[in-house]
Amino acid sequence: MRRTASVLPLILLGLGVFALVFGQLLDRYVEPRVKRTPVDVETDSVLTGTGSYFDTGVLETVHGQQITITRRIVGDVAAAERSGHAVWNVSTQIDSPATLPLRDPRRSLQWTTERWVTDRRTNLPVHCCGEQPSFRGEAYLKFPFDVQKRTHRWWDGVLGGAVRLKYSGTEKVLGHEGYRFTGSVAPRRTGVTREVPGSLVGRPKQRQVTAEEWYANARIELVVERRTGRIMNARMAPKITLRAPGARSDAVTLLAGDRLEFTDATRRTQVAQTARDSRRLEVLGETAPALTTVAGGVLAAAGLTFLVRERRRRTAPADSRRIDRTHTGD
């Protein structure tokens, strides 16, 4: 029994020290390495709503139509393993009710392909690995981990530039709370030109005109999950128009979305992935380190207490005998 009593405090002390070290390991080593942008992604996000688009069949803009924007993201795992960065190939197509059933991006209203390379920890752009286009900012397909309540620079692919989105409070998406960021884009030239008949842009005397493409977005609203930086919902009101060279007003509306928003299916998918990843980060970065630290402190304190008590118990008889001999000598 004495041997058991002597070993128990040491076991408690050892377990306590181990728990304390393990908690710090989770907090400082494991969790930061888990907090990385995934590379093996394959996901679709869809925005839909009413709007207008230029119908090439009748050569005029039609209104009150359904507009669908589909963005497909596929991670290039091989390139990511070679570079150490997140490499995503992104395909974005805009469809009308006529082109959507065709399921062919080449026959959609507009189709663009991009290749995004970002730092897996900071989400900042990395200019390598065939990146196209070269972009700036700190947010695009996702925000950085541990999103802060401040203005973020979000890359707008149509504009070809970064847009400042300010923090505008919180909003729940399917019961999951996120930070809401809002902004807008005043009408700007995109740098794209199109050869069109002069009559289309108010220049009937000119057979062909190199028209300027202009872009605006009256409403950008993104709801972002704090821990993961995932976008749980998005609302847009983009407008792409053509102007005659040097003109100050729009001549033709190519595309205008009144209120484009993630579909219900996209929101459910985004929230489900967000909840899963957020719980993982919470456990590794907050819950587990806190519990192991508390448990380690309790175990270590218990072990030290037992050791001190046992030491006092062992030394007490020797001290008593010494006192007795001193009194006898007197």
pLDDT, tens digit only, all 330 positions of the chain? 444 456 766 665 555 555 455 555 545 544 455 678 889 999 999 999 999 999 988 889 999 999 999 999 999 999 999 999 999 999 999 999 999 999 899 999 999 999 999 999 899 999 999 999 898 899 988 999 999 999 999 999 899 999 999 999 999 999 999 999 999 999 999 999 999 999 999 999 999 999 999 999 999 999 999 999 999 999 999 999 999 999 999 999 999 998 899 999 999 999 999 998 877 776 555 555 555 665 555 555 665 666 666 667 767 655 554 545 555 444
Q: Which amino acid is at 247?
A: A
Instruction: Assess contact for 68 and 48: CB atoms under 8 A.
Output: yes
State the DSSP code for 125: B
User: Strand locations in the chain, DSSP E?
Assistant: 42-55, 60-75, 86-95, 110-118, 152-156, 161-173, 176-197, 208-224, 231-243, 252-257, 260-262
Only one residue has tokens 């963005």, namely 71
Domain ranges of the chain: 28-283
| 3-state class (DSSP) for residue 174 | coil
Q: Tokens standing for 175?
A: 């019961």
Model's pTM, two decimal places? 0.78
> How far is Cα 17 from Cα 296, in angstroms, rounded to an integer?
6
Provide the sign of the torsion angle of the four alpha carbons 149, 119, 115, 215, taken in this order. positive
Q: Tokens standing for 70?
A: 């589909």
> How far is Cα 273 from Cα 261, in angstroms, rounded to an integer?
18
Instruction: Assess contact for 252 and 61: CB atoms under 8 A.
Output: yes
Instruction: Assess contact for 170 and 182: CB atoms under 8 A.
Output: no
